[in-house]
Amino acid sequence: MTDKKLIIAIDGHSSCGKSTFAKAIAARMNYIYIDSGAMYRAVTLACMEQGIVRNGAVDEKLLPHVIETADINFRKKEGSAQTDTFLNGINVEERIRSIDVASNVSLVSKSTRVREKMVALQRRMGRNRGIVMDGRDIGTVVFPGADIKIFMTAEAGIRAQRRYRELADKNLKVSLEEIRNNIIARDKMDETRMESPLLKAPDAFVLDNSYMTPEQQMKWFDDLLSEMNL
């Protein structure tokens, strides 16, 4: 394996296992993993706490102040390789996964101001290289010169089944049909928004993991490293 520290960008559809795969790669390469979605979720929470998201709109006048004062970073969980997301010094990892944050994040993350701030922060996090970052615009906007770009996807029905099992394990009752419809709607929203839509970079390698185990995905990645001579 190369001694050169790489920048690895992973983009793709929601609920297709991007973060699990990105974390596994980061652990394997001994790199830092950054969940860019968590950053959009944290800034959304900051907007909600300041009361500037109301009735399906963000108060654009007050937004710059909230963005400027939102200090977002990641800290390692004690005794684990996992990290937690912090907003202004407070651990918000659980809070940012809540339904109310999830239902406002698309609205906040389509703001140009928000994206500019997040992209600058993400680039700063990658300045020492040795990073795996996942999201929607990492290979296209954040690190267009990334050493490896991966675009992940899986069939909508299969993504829905995986999500359904996850929720069932947590005793949350939502129908499979509802989840599938939500996944299709989110794909559409991600792909058609004006600001940094979800796009496959021309030089990204597509990984469709509909019928792949985690081990097969890691083998796919190892083969890619060898083929690219990295």
Tokens of 133: 């970052």
Inter-residue contact 43 to 70 (CB < 8 Å): yes
Whole-angstrom distance, CA of residue 47 vs CA of residue 101: 10
| Phi and psi, residue 222, nearest 5° | -60, -40
What residues contact residue 85 under an 8 Å CB cut-off, 6+ apart? 35, 38, 39, 41, 42, 72, 73, 74, 91, 92, 93, 96
Nearest to 43 by CA among 138, 133, 115: 115
| Adjacent-strand bridge partners of 131 | 7, 32
| Phi and psi, residue 127, nearest 5° | -70, -25
Nearer to ligand DC, 37 or 126 (CB): 37
Q: Give the shortest CB-26-to-ligand DC separation in angstroms.
A: 16
Nearer to ligand DC, 77 or 219 (CB): 77
Q: Give the shortest CB-14-to-ligand DC separation in angstroms.
A: 5
Nearer to ligand DC, 189 or 225 (CB): 189
Q: Give the shortest CB-176-to-ligand DC separation in angstroms.
A: 19
Nearer to ligand DC, 138 or 146 (CB): 138
Amino acid identity at 137: D
Q: Give the shortest CB-109-to-ligand DC separation in angstroms.
A: 4
Inter-residue contact 5 to 198 (CB < 8 Å): no
Helix (H) or strand (E) holding 206: strand 205-208
Nearer to ligand DC, 36 or 153 (CB): 36
Nearer to ligand DC, 100 or 222 (CB): 100
Q: Give the shortest CB-144-to-ligand DC separation in angstroms.
A: 13
Q: Give the shortest CB-88-to-ligand DC separation in angstroms.
A: 19
Whole-angstrom distance, CA of residue 40 vs CA of residue 45: 9
- Contacting positions for ligand DC (CB under 6 A): 14, 36-37, 40-41, 105-106, 109, 135-138
Q: Which residue has the tokens 């969980």?
A: 77
Nearer to ligand DC, 79 or 145 (CB): 145
Q: Give the shortest CB-128-to-ligand DC separation in angstroms.
A: 20
